[in-house]
Structure 1
Amino acid sequence: MATDPLPLHKTDPAQPPADTPAGPLVAFDQVVKRYGDHVVLDHLDFTVERGQHVTLIGPSGSGKTTILRLLMTLEQVSSGTITVDGTPLSHMRGQDGTLKPASEKYQRDIRKRIGMVFQQFNLFPNMNVLQNITEAPVNVLGMERAAAEERGKELLELVGLSDKVTAHPTQLSGGQQQRVAIARALAMRPEILLLDEVTSALDPELVAGVLDVLRDIARTTDITMLCVTHEMNFARDVSDRVLMFDAGRVIESGTPDKIFGAPEHERTREFLGAVL
Structure 2
Amino acid sequence: MSADTASSNDELIRFDHVTKRFGDNTVLDSLDFKVFPGKHVTLIGPSGSGKTTILRLLMTLLKPDEGTIKVDGAYLSHEEKDGKLVPAGEKHVREVRKNIGMVFQQFNLFPNMKVLRNITEAPVHVLGLSQDEADARARELLELVGLGDRCDAYPSQLSGGQQQRVAIARALAMRPKVLLLDEVTSALDPELVAGVLDLLRDIARTTDVTMVCVTHEMNFARDVSDCVMMFDEGRVIEYGHPDQMFSAPEHERTREFLSAVL
TM-score normalised by length of structure 1:
0.92
Other-structure match for 2:39: 52
1:16-57 deviation per Cα after TM superposition (whole angstroms, max 9, x unaligned): 9xxxxx421101111000012111000001100010000000
Aligned residue in 1 for 2:188 = 202
Is residue 2:118 matched to residue 1:147?
A: no
Measure, in 2, the Cα distance between the counterparts of 1:13 and 1:155.
Answer: 33
Identity %: 73
Which residue among 239, 246, 252 is the counterpart of 1:260? 246
Matched residue of 2:169: which SS?
helix
Local SS of the residue matching 1:143: coil
Q: Give the whole-Å Cα distance in 1 for the aligned partners of 2:22 and 2:94.
A: 23
SS at match of 2:250: coil
In structure 2, the partner of 1:88 is 75
Superposition misfits of 4+ residues, deviation over 4 angstroms:
12-16
Equivalent position of 1:136 in the other structure: 122
Aligned residues: 259
1:73 paired residue number? 60
> Residue in 1 aligned with 2:205?
219
Q: Is 1:123 paired with 2:92?
A: no
**In the aligned structure 1, how far is the partner of 2:149 from the partner of 2:199?**
16
Q: Secondary structure at the match of 2:108?
A: coil
Where 2:63 maps in the other structure, the secondary structure is coil
Number of the residue aligned with 2:23:
36
Unpaired runs of at least 5, structure 1: 1-11, 17-21
Contact 1:244 1:251 in 2 (8 A): yes
Q: Deviations over 1:55-77 (max 9, x none)?
A: 00000000000000000111000
**CA deviation profile, 1:206-234 (whole Å, cap 9, x unmatched):** 00110011000000111100000000000
CA contact (8 A) 1:114 1:191 kept: yes
Name the CA distance, whole Å, in 2 between partners of 1:23 and 1:115: 20
User: What corresponds to 1:114 in structure 2?
Assistant: 100
- Structure 2 Cα separation of the partners of residues 273 and 187 of structure 1: 38
TM-score, with length taken from structure 2: 0.97
Aligned counterparts of 1:265 and 1:53: Cα–Cα separation in 2: 22
AA aligned opposite 1:100: V
- Who is 1:156 aligned against? 142
Deviation at 1:84, TM superposition (A): 1.1
The answer as to whether partners of 1:53 and 1:226 remain within 8 angstroms in 2 is yes
Name the aligned partner's letter for residue 239 of structure 2.
S
Contact 1:13–1:51 (8 Å) recurs in 2 = no
Checking the alignment, whether the CA contact within 8 Å between 1:115 and 1:188 is kept in structure 2 is: yes
Write the mapping of 1:160-179 to structure 2, written as runs, cut at 5 A. 160-179=146-165
CA positional deviation for 1:86? 2.1
Change (3 A) 1:58 1:93: same
Q: What does the per-residue CA deviation read over 1:101-160, in whole Å, with 9 as the maximum and x for residues that have no partner?
A: 111111111000000000000111111100100000011111100110010000000000
Q: How much has 1:199 moved relative to structure 2?
A: 0.2
> What stretches of structure 2 of length at least 5 have no aligned partner?
none
Residues 243, 253 of structure 1: 8 Å contact kept: yes
Alpha-carbon separation, structure 1, partners of 2:192 and 2:73: 39
CA distance in 1 between counterparts of 2:158 and 2:185 reads 15
| Pairwise CA distance, 1:188 | 0.3
Q: Alpha carbon RMSD of aligned pairs, Å? A: 1.4
